[in-house]
Amino acid sequence: TEHRANTHTIKADLSDAAEVDNLADRLAALPEPIDVLVCAAGVGQRSLAAHTSYDAHDLIMRTNFDGHVRLTQRVLPSMLERGAGTIVAVSSVQGFFGQPGRSSYAASKAALVGYYDSLRAEVAADGLTVIVVAPGYIATAHAASAVGGDGASNASSESKGMDPSELARLIVDAMVRGGPSQLVCSQPSGRAAMFLRSLAPGLFFRLMASRA
């Protein structure tokens, strides 16, 4: 028997706390409980730390981190009450290392990793699943809409980026299987940088300095 799930589309700006609260209220009013929460909103960065205003940094943190945490905190109690639910946080391989021109972006993605790693441990005994996704390059207009950028796309990054639909499939597969808790969806360069930052930090820091 074919089953069609009800679909609800609600627009919200996750950088605005009031909009996040309004979104949470509207979600709570839906007849069905929230079984899966995917925190995927994000904005990129293309500016050196010394040239990034605090307002720009604040926008990145509110969009990439604070909004996700605020929404998670509103949805979490109902999941805990039911003893079921999946929360997916889309971070980045840059949540595990920083590179020139991405200081605030890397900070926001690292914050996601730390927060949801802690949350995973706290809710494991309650029957909830928490998955952190670490993509590499994705074939989107991420560079063109980045804070501090010039509005131009990055043809090189986009050409070697994973198709968004493929990333979505990998995330859905992980949700269905209940893991892995950390899903890395990156090109070899991103995976190598993650390992190098952990195993040979001095070498990694010299490489990043040469790129700057």
Whether residue 132 is predicted with pLDDT greater than 90 in this model: the reply is yes
List, by residue number, the catalytic residues.
105
Cα gap 170→157, rounded to integer Å: 20
Cβ 135 vs Cβ 96: under 8 Å: no
The pLDDT, as a whole number, for residue 153 is: 62
Helix (H) or strand (E) holding 131: strand 128-135
The pLDDT, as a whole number, for residue 1 is: 41
The pLDDT, as a whole number, for residue 172 is: 96
The per-residue pLDDT for range 45-99, each reduced to its tens digit, is: 999 999 999 999 999 999 999 999 999 999 999 999 999 999 999 999 999 999 9
SS (H, E, C) 11-29: CCCCCCHHHHHHHHHHHHC
What's the predicted TM-score (pTM) here? Answer: 0.90
